[in-house]
Amino acid sequence: MAELELDDVRKVFTDDDGSDIVAVDDVTVDIEDGEFLVLVGPSGCGKSTTLRMVAGLETVTSGDIRLGGRSIVDQKPQDRDIAMVFQSYALYPHMTTRENMAFGLEESTDMADAEIDERVENAADLLDIPELLDRKPSELSGGQQQRVALGRAIVREPEVFLMDEPLSNLDAKLRSQMRTELQRIQEDLDTTTVYVTHDQTEAMTMGDRIAILDGGELQQAGTPLECYHRPANRFVAGFIGEPSMNFFDATVEGDRLVADAFEYPLTADMREAVEGADGVTLGIRPEDVEVAAAGSAGDDEFDTVVDVVEPMGNENAVYLGFDGDMSDTFVATVGGMRRIEAGESVVARFPSDAVHLFDTTNGDALH
C-alpha cells in the first residue's frame, strides 16, 4: 500500500535579512493508494516546496510525511521509494534514450542488466517510444524528451510519482495530448501520483482530486467537481473556472442582498446561511448567468447593457454592465451562435440555485 499522508507539514525559510518566509503552512492531506492528486495554486503558493519535501529535497520544519503508514521525513531522498519528474527534462545529452532510462537503475541498484533492459523496453512500450531507444536527446522533440524523462521515473517502479509542472515546456496542443497520455499511463500503472501545476484547467481535467493552495495554506481538497460546485471559499471559487466567477460585495437588509448596482432576493435557505455575517459577497459563474432579450425583469433579473463581446470559439464571453451603473461590469458566457452586440440591452438572470454566497470578511463559503 502506498498511501501518502501529509500531516501538518510546515516549511519556513529564512531570507537574507533573517526574516521568516512561511512557504508551506501546516498542510494536511491524504493521498490514497493509486490516486492522482493535483496540487494547484498561483505562483509562490508553496506547491514545489511541498513536493520537494515529499521527495526529500527539502527538510520539513515541522509535521510529518508518511508513506504506507511509515514516516519518511528522516529518510534520504534515494531511500524513499519515490520518483520525481521535473519541468526541465534534465536528460544526459551524451546518452541514448535507453541509457538515460537505465542510468538511475544501474547507478543506485544492483539489478541485473537483463532486468534493467526489460524494464526499459516495457516503459518504452507504455510510452509509445520503442523506436526512439537508440536516439540521443538532441535527436528528439520536446514531447519525446518529456516521455523519456517520464520513462526514467517509470523504470524505477516507485511507490509514488511526483511531477512538478512536467508539461509546461510543451506547446498547447502537445500539452493537451500528453495530459491524456499521462492519465492513461498513471491508470495503467496505478501508482500514487502527486502532480503540481499552476494551471487550473490542467488540474480540473487530470486530477482524481485536486488540492488548492494559496499563501502556503491548503484551501480545499476535493474532486474537481466538488471544488467547482462547492468551493470552500472565495479564493477557490475565483481560482477554479474560466472565465472566473463574478463577485459582488453586498450587505444583508432584511430578505435582500443590497449591492452597489442591484438588490437580490434571498431564499429562506440563504437567509439562514448569511445570518450574523457583516458583509456578504454574491458569486455567480459566467456560465450560470442567463442572458435573455430585454423585457420585463423579475426579482432575480437585471436590466443590463452589453459592454464588450469576446469570442471564445464555441462561446462568447459577454461583459455586461448594470443599466445606469456601468462601473461594475461582470461576465456571462453565451453560445457562440447567438448574435449579441456591444451596446445592446439585455436581461441577465442570476438563478438562485447557481448563486454562491461568501462571508466578505474571511471569504468562507456560506451557501
Q: Which residues sit at the interface with ligand ATP, rule CB under 6 A?
A: 13, 15, 21, 23, 41, 43-49, 198
Minimum separation from the CB atom of position 71 to ligand ATP (A): 22
Is residue 195 within 8 A of residue 39, CB to CB? The reply is yes
Cα–Cα dist 43/199, whole Å? 10
- Encode burial over 143-180: b for 16+ CB neighbours within 10 A, e otherwise: bbbbbbbbbbbbbbebbbbbbbbbbeebeeebbeebbe
As measured in angstroms, the least distance from the Cβ of 47 to ligand ATP is 4
Pairwise CA distance, residues 226 & 232, whole Å: 9
Cβ of residue 235: shortest distance to ligand ATP, in angstroms? 14
Residue pair 212/196 in contact by the 8 Å Cβ criterion: no
- In the chain, % helix, strand, coil (3-state, to 5) comes to 30, 35, 35
* Rounded least distance, CB 108 to ligand ATP, Å: 26
Instruction: Please answer whether residues 54 and 65 qualify as being in contact, where contact means their C-beta atoms are separated by less than 8 angstroms.
Output: yes
Residue nearer to ligand ATP on the CB measure, 43 or 314: 43
Considering the complex, state which of residue 87 and residue 122 has its C-beta at the smaller distance from ligand ATP.
87
Q: Which is nearer to ligand ATP, 15 or 110 (CB)?
A: 15
Closer to ligand ATP by Cβ: residue 219 or 246: 219
What's the CA gap between 39 and 262, in Å, rounded?
37
Among 48, 69, 51, which residue's Cα sits nearest to residue 3? 69
Provide the minimum distance between the beta carbon of 295 and ligand ATP in the complex, in angstroms, as a whole number: 47
* Minimal distance, residue 79 CB to ligand ATP, in Å: 23
Complex with ligand ATP: residue 81 or 199, whichever CB lies closer = 199
The residue among 65 and 259 lying less far from ligand ATP, judged by its C-beta, is 65
